[in-house]
Amino acid sequence: MRESRLAHLQSAVLDLAFDADAEAFRADPATWAQARNLVSADGRTLATRHERWLLYRDLIRTTLEDPLADTFPITQTLLEEASAWAECVDAFLASRTISSPYYREVAPAFVAWLAASHWGLERWPFLLQLAHYEAVELEVLWAPDASPAIGLSAEPALDRVAVLDPAARNLAYGFAVQLATVEAPEPPPACARLLCHRDREGAFHVLELTPPVSALLARSQEGQALGPALAELGADPVEAFALLREFRDQGVLQGFRSA
């Protein structure tokens, strides 16, 4: 009985915090509590202190909404122009997909929810890609520092694999999300191959890659040696190795290892 009472109370508090509409609670807290099978003492507590509970609701939602606005300013602008940002955030919170107690996990949970729910994609087919791109900066900046490279060579070779820094992301999008801005938030439809990384001073950078370079890095991530990969891509090893050395110097690559 004790466990059941606690479970009902916890569920009611989650309803109050995450449901988009709190009007039923505002209008009649006692009936709202009864509908959630709360015992009379808990129902009375909610009813007599309903203004305080509404304040708790606002605090919880603000805590969760702030990182969204901070991480997704372009997405927010896009949706606010259509008066849809509040609707989107309400739907996200109502889904209750946030399971981590850490502030930094709110933005990844939002992107995962967009991917799972397909919210807004019919109207804005680029929405998920745009939000993902906006979240990548924090993902790269917050990635743990790489352990000191052991057994890696500083020089590329045909029988070696290029080893990306763990914080680097080799990404491909169907829209030019890197061109979207707060002033012009809708990205044009164009393939974008982007290398997102942080330099040795910890600053975030985005490099636009050609298809062969993006494919070369992807094949290295899969463990294919540079020689066969370059041959399949029809790329010049001299030019490719020069570029890989630049990536190494910029901190994009840790180095090179035997395939």
CATH code of the domain containing 164: 3.90.930.50
Give a yes or no: residue 11 inside a domain: no
Asked if 120 and 90 count as a contact pair (C-beta separation under 8 A), the reply is: no
DSSP 36: T
- Residue 122 — pLDDT band, cuts 50, 70, 90? very high
DSSP 153: B
Q: Which pLDDT score is estimated for 17? A: 75
Helices 73-81 & 85-95 angle (0-180, nearest 10): 120
Q: Report how far residue 240's alpha carbon sits from residue 56's, in angstroms, rounded to the nearest whole number.
A: 57
Least confident of 46-55, 180-189, 247-256: 46-55
Give a yes or no: residue 66 inside a domain: no
The percent of residues in the chain predicted with pLDDT above 90, rounded, is: 65
Domain assignment of residue 117, given as a range:
72-142
Instruction: For residues 129-137, give the mean pLDDT.
Output: 97
Asked if 38 and 8 count as a contact pair (C-beta separation under 8 A), the reply is: yes
Alpha-carbon 90 to chain mean position: 18
Asked if 21 and 61 count as a contact pair (C-beta separation under 8 A), the reply is: no
Q: Residue 256 above 70 pLDDT?
A: yes
Q: Residue 1 above 70 pLDDT?
A: no
Q: Which pLDDT score is estimated for 3? A: 54
Tell whether 122 and 80 lie within a shared domain: yes
Q: What is the pTM of this model?
A: 0.86
Tell whether 121 and 166 lie within a shared domain: no
**Where does a domain end: 142, 174, 198?**
142
Burial of 39 (0-12, 13-18, 19+ CB in 10 A): middle
Whose structure tokens read 């290029």? 162
